């Protein structure tokens, strides 16, 4: 296995893109990444997507997008792991290049989810959960997360308001991100007064959906010529799974697949949590931020909210998270999210994150979650700057 | 890249399996393959599936099936490439093991498609075509193939009845296959008189859908201990794409992705078409058999039906195809089909194909097609017996 690098990145705004089709949105991100990498060819395309069959009646996305971006004929497939599809596609591209099978592979995450009725999207999103034992009981995805959060508050004695800073920090960091869905500063007061969605989850605990795509170009590090950017290498890439149904887990408040994939990635990269300068985590709901921080070793069990309360998750803190807005404010186009996270880590490690740049960021981590913890993909990136 | 082998195979009957859920059908095939391989663990699971979101409202199949078969925690994803999903999943498992990333990976193709109304399934299948420019015009998948066949008859001066042997041969070969959907001998007369579906395609040109799953266990060849079976190695594995919409192709009667992936697989395996002892091709419609045979170099352009007319596609012929019934009679559970094909090649190369055993079969090929030629995956297998 040879070392690989992310040579180019691209992303579209996360928004309601009524005037653009699925392939156009995906193509915009791929072409931006190819331009950034100064490459006009690739040997493979890995498309991360969850909902296209249900929301756009379109499958076979690999071939569709390959043709659209001028890569007609190359190997191309779609990879699905619910909301973890994006990072799973990046991991597939990494494996294709690190194995020597390809010398250049592109991963793109794409989701177009604002076209249908909201109820249809909610129903489609429930397919990330166990259809026979969760969704069939009427549990929507937010309802599952609400049950997890309610239990967390009960077991670890936190109040709902203790989660406020996860959302406040995300919204603050999105303000300068031109690709973010929400540009709106929120305060403790707006958080506390937000409309209830599924108690105890309110509107400001939940990430907005949206249309969007993000892409990366993966090449071997060997023979890489100097570019205008620092070289960003993949130091760790790992994926693990858990039961789909939360009720089947030994501890519903522990993301065992996050722990497994993070530990594997740490070992590959030869680092510990203390070495991570920024962490783009999967804050689909504020409770997931706490669970990820704990499972990845940044906080003790049940103590995730402490990092938020103490301001340690800000760009100036011990473990900056959601530095470009996270799922909460950059937005959550589900199958694309994992690639957005990696693109954002690359921006930080290149020193191109503008107003939310974490000073001296050198090692970054991204963690993408499919379902309520069922499929979790963790990447660790390093900069040579 | 190290050489890899298929150590175990498993399959379920292709049928209407009303009493079994998606995970149960997939699990049956995976557990059969693990038992055949005498392995009770694996490091990764690659699930090939096209329709689960649309027909069962279930995504995140990787984690779902991994948990069900007792592989809780392992890396697992779903791979989608329309009707080519199965072979694409096998290819992903091969790459995971040949790269050294894993020492044992399982690929399973699963489709459960008889639950919904037939019209819903037809609509879902159309998502393999271009949703914006084909399906949106009311073109169903059979209609697209009908246009291709009509043009083929016109350009190359064949009559519809000249395709009869593709279907007659498939039905004959399925008679002794306990996993086949159709056990019914057909004749030239029944073929010619079959009910019209979308002219010129009649009922006996078209493959039946069904519920089913097939699985393979992939391991490195090195250090492989002798088993009761001959060792079946992967000699070639390649994938290529074309435009989704048939009207965008330079020649709508030429499967360029079949040619590309087959040529690459031949080169990897160091063989020519003349060396292939059996060929499991993607006979979703009889016209596709002709096109595949031509694109892969077994017949001149426009001359595919000649092989059928001359009986050269029978198990005793020059290039035996659909030796276990093919899509036409074994059945076409779309996302599973590509794995069924590979399982059937393994049976032939092991010498375990019973009444339809091709004597001395030593090198076999399987080709799986997603869409009307958009994503094509070709594998070449060799036996050491």
Q: Which residues have a Cβ under 8 Å from the Cβ of B384 and sit 6 or more positions away?
A: B230, B231, B232, B233
Compute the average pLDDT of residues A281-289.
Answer: 98
DSSP strand pairing (B105-111 vs B44-48) = parallel
Share of chain A above pLDDT 70, in %: 100
pLDDT at A385: 81
Q: Is A77 on the interface with B (CB under 8 A)?
A: yes
Residue with tokens 């036409």: B328
CB contact under 8 A, A88 and B79: no
What are the C-alpha distances in Å from B49 to residues A369, B35, B104? 20, 22, 21
Q: Is B103 on the interface with A (CB under 8 A)?
A: no
Chain A positions touching B78 (Cβ under 8 A) are 79-81
DSSP strand pairing (B196-198 vs B105-111) = unpaired
Query: Which letter does DSSP use for residue B140 in this model?
Result: -
Compute the average pLDDT of residues A65-75.
Answer: 98
- The Cα B54–Cα A269 span in angstroms is 39
Determine whether A296 is an active site residue: no
- The Cα A181–Cα A163 span in angstroms is 21
Residues in A 267-326 with any Cβ partner in B closer than 8 A: none
Residues in A 236-255 with any Cβ partner in B closer than 8 A: 238-244, 248
DSSP strand pairing (B105-111 vs B212-220) = antiparallel
Compute the average pLDDT of residues A123-151.
Answer: 95
How many CA atoms lie less than 13 Å away from A52 in the CB half-sphere?
A: 38
Neighbouring C-beta atoms of residue A155, cutoff 10 Å: 13
CB contact under 8 A, B127 and A60: yes
Q: What ipTM does the predicted assembly reach?
A: 0.97
CB contact under 8 A, A58 and B248: no
Residues in A 12-41 with any Cβ partner in B closer than 8 A: 21, 23
Q: What is the DSSP string of B41-91?
A: --SEEEEE-SSHHHHHS---HHHHHHHHTT-TTSEEEEEEBTBTHHHHHHH
Cα distance from B100 to chain A (closest Cα, Å)? 7
CB contact under 8 A, B50 and A59: yes
Select from B330, B323, B334, B11 the least CA-distant residue to B141.
B334
CB contact under 8 A, B21 and A375: no
Cβ-contact A343, A9 below 8 angstroms:
yes
pLDDT at A141: 93
- The Cα A289–Cα B6 span in angstroms is 41
Cβ-contact B229, B348 below 8 angstroms:
no
Across the interface, of A54, A59, A73, the residue whose CB is closest to B128 is A59
Strand partners, B381: B234, B364
pLDDT at B315: 98
Q: What is the DSSP string of B179-248?
A: T-S------HHHHHHSPEEETTEEGGGBPP--BEEEEEEEEESTTPPP-SS--EEEEEEEEEE--SSGGG
- The Cα A356–Cα A375 span in angstroms is 29
- The Cα A9–Cα A31 span in angstroms is 9
DSSP strand pairing (A44-48 vs A105-111) = parallel
- Please say whether the dihedral angle defined by the alpha carbons of residues B90, B94, B97 and B103, taken in this order, is positive or negative: positive
Residue with tokens 């990635």: A265
- Please say whether the dihedral angle defined by the alpha carbons of residues B283, B284, B286 and B287, taken in this order, is positive or negative: negative
Residues in B 343-372 with any Cβ partner in A closer than 8 A: 370-371
Chain A positions touching B92 (Cβ under 8 A) are 77, 92
Cβ-contact A348, A195 below 8 angstroms:
no
Would the pTM count as exceeding 0.90?
yes
- A329's enclosing H/E stretch is helix A326-329
Share of chain A above pLDDT 90, in %: 95
Secondary-structure percent of chain A, ordered helix, strand, coil, rounded to 5: 40, 20, 40
Q: What is the dihedral of CA B10, B16, B22, B24, to 10 degrees?
A: -50
Is the preceding omega at residue B55 within 30 degrees of 0, hence cis? no
- The Cα B82–Cα A63 span in angstroms is 10
Q: Which residues have a Cβ under 8 Å from the Cβ of A157 and sit 6 or more positions away?
A: none
CB contact under 8 A, A240 and B75: yes
Phi/psi zone of residue A82: left (φ > 0), alpha (ψ -120 to 50 degrees), beta? Answer: left
pLDDT at A276: 98
pLDDT at A1: 84
pLDDT at B223: 80
CB contact under 8 A, B99 and A243: no
CB contact under 8 A, B239 and A128: no
pLDDT at B119: 82
Select from B355, B289, B288 the least CA-distant residue to B316.
B355
Question: Given a cut of 80, is residue A209 above it in pLDDT?
Answer: yes
Cα distance from A165 to chain B (closest Cα, Å)? 31
Chain B positions touching A123 (Cβ under 8 A) are 57
Q: Which residues have a Cβ under 8 Å from the Cβ of B217 and sit 6 or more positions away?
A: B6, B7, B8, B9, B33, B34, B36, B37, B39, B42, B104, B105, B106
Compute the average pLDDT of residues A321-344.
Answer: 98
Mean pLDDT (chain A, rounded): 97
Cβ-contact B373, B255 below 8 angstroms:
yes
Phi/psi zone of residue B73: left (φ > 0), alpha (ψ -120 to 50 degrees), beta? Answer: left
Chain A positions touching B88 (Cβ under 8 A) are 77
- The Cα A313–Cα A276 span in angstroms is 12
- The Cα B186–Cα B168 span in angstroms is 6
- The Cα A167–Cα A160 span in angstroms is 12
Across the interface, of B1, B75, B260, the residue whose CB is closest to A239 is B75
pLDDT at A116: 77
Chain A positions touching B60 (Cβ under 8 A) are 80-82, 127-129, 244, 370-371, 374-375
Select from A69, A65, A59, A88 the least CA-distant residue to A334.
A88
CA B184 distance to own-chain centroid: 21
pLDDT at B206: 98
Query: Of B229, B332, B362, B379, which residue is the catalytic one?
Result: B332
pLDDT at B118: 80
Chain A positions touching B130 (Cβ under 8 A) are 58, 64
CB contact under 8 A, B78 and A73: no
Query: Of A229, A282, A332, A379, which residue is the catalytic one?
Result: A332
Cα distance from B125 to chain A (closest Cα, Å)? 9
Across the interface, of A101, A240, A370, the residue whose CB is closest to B60 is A370
Cβ-contact A5, A343 below 8 angstroms:
no
Is the preceding omega at residue A328 within 30 degrees of 0, hence cis? no
- The token pair at B78 is 């779903």
Determine whether B362 is an active site residue: no
Residue A41 burial (C-beta neighbours within 10 Å; 0-12, 13-18, 19+)? exposed
- The token pair at A57 is 């009646």
Instruction: Collapse the DSSP code of B146 into the 3-class scheme (helix H, G, I; strand E, B; otherwise coil) and give the result.
Output: helix
How many CA atoms lie less than 13 Å away from A235 in the CB half-sphere?
A: 25
Chain A positions touching B76 (Cβ under 8 A) are 81, 239, 241, 375
Chain B positions touching A242 (Cβ under 8 A) are 63, 67, 72-73
Cα distance from B43 to chain A (closest Cα, Å)? 10
Q: What is the largest CA-CA distance in chain A?
A: 56
pLDDT at A62: 98
CA B238 distance to own-chain centroid: 14
Find, in chain B, the residue whose alpha carbon is nearest to that of A61: B81
Tens-binned pLDDT, residue by residue, of chain B (385 aa): 899 999 999 999 999 999 999 999 999 999 999 999 999 999 999 999 999 999 999 999 999 999 999 999 999 999 999 999 999 999 999 999 999 999 999 999 999 998 877 888 999 999 999 999 999 999 999 999 999 999 999 999 999 999 999 999 999 999 999 999 999 999 999 999 999 999 999 999 999 999 999 999 999 999 888 788 899 999 999 999 999 999 999 999 999 999 999 999 999 999 999 999 999 999 999 999 999 999 999 999 999 999 999 999 999 999 999 999 999 999 999 999 999 999 999 999 999 999 999 999 999 999 999 999 999 999 999 998 8
pLDDT at A139: 93
Instruction: Collapse the DSSP code of A190 into the 3-class scheme (helix H, G, I; strand E, B; otherwise coil) and give the result.
Output: helix
Chain A positions touching B126 (Cβ under 8 A) are 57
Cβ-contact B97, B43 below 8 angstroms:
no
Find, in chain A, the residue whose alpha carbon is nearest to that of B70: A243
pLDDT at A223: 80
For B243-266, letters b (16+ CB in 10 Å) and e give bbbbeebeebbbbbbbbbbbbbbb
Select from A72, A6, A145, A78 the least CA-distant residue to A336.
A78
CB contact under 8 A, A101 and B99: yes
Neighbouring C-beta atoms of residue A200, cutoff 10 Å: 18
Cα distance from A159 to chain B (closest Cα, Å)? 32
CB contact under 8 A, B375 and A60: yes
- Please say whether the dihedral angle defined by the alpha carbons of residues B291, B293, B296 and B300, taken in this order, is positive or negative: negative
């Amino acid at each position: 296995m040879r070392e690989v690098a992310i040579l180019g990145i691209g992303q579209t705004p996360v928004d309601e893109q009524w005037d653009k089709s699925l392939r156009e949105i995906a193509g915009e991100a791929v072409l931006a990444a190819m331009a950034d990498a100064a490459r006009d060819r690739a040997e493979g395309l890995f498309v991360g997507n969850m909902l296209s069959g249900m929301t756009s009646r379109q499958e076979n996305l690999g071939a569709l997008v390959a043709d659209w971006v001028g890569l007609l004929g190359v190997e191309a497939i779609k990879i699905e792991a619910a909301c973890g599809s994006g990072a799973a596609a990046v991991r597939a591209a990494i494996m294709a290049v690190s194995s020597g099978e390809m010398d250049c592979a592109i991963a793109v995450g794409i989701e177009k989810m604002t076209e249908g009725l909201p109820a249809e999207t909610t129903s489609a999103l429930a397919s990330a959960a166990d259809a026979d034992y969760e969704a069939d009981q009427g549990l929507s995805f937010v309802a599952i997360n609400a049950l997890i959060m309610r239990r967390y508050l009960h077991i670890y004695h936190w109040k709902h308001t203790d989660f406020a800073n996860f959302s406040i920090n995300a919204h603050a960091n999105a303000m300068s991100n031109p690709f973010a869905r929400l540009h709106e500063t929120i305060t403790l007061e707006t958080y506390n007064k937000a409309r209830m969605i599924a108690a105890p989850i309110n509107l400001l605990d939940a990430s907005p959906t949206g249309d969007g795509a993000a892409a990366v170009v993966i090449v071997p590090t060997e023979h890489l010529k100097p570019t205008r950017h620092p070289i960003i290498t993949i130091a760790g890439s790992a994926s693990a799974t858990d039961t789909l149904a939360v009720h089947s887990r030994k501890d519903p408040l522990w993301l065992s697949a996050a722990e497994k994939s993070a530990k594997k990635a740490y070992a590959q990269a030869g680092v510990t949590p203390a070495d991570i300068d920024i962490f783009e985590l999967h804050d689909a709901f504020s409770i997931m931020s706490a669970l990820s921080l704990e499972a990845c070793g940044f906080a003790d069990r049940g103590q995730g909210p402490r990092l938020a309360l103490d301001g340690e998750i800000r760009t100036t803190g011990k473990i900056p998270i959601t530095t470009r807005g996270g799922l909460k404010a950059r937005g959550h186009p589900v199958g694309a999210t994992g690639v957005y996270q990696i693109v954002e880590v690359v921006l930080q490690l290149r020193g191109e994150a503008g107003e939310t740049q974490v000073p001296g960021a050198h090692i970054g981590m991204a963690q993408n979650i499919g379902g309520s913890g069922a499929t979790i993909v963790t990447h660790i990136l390093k900069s040579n700057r």
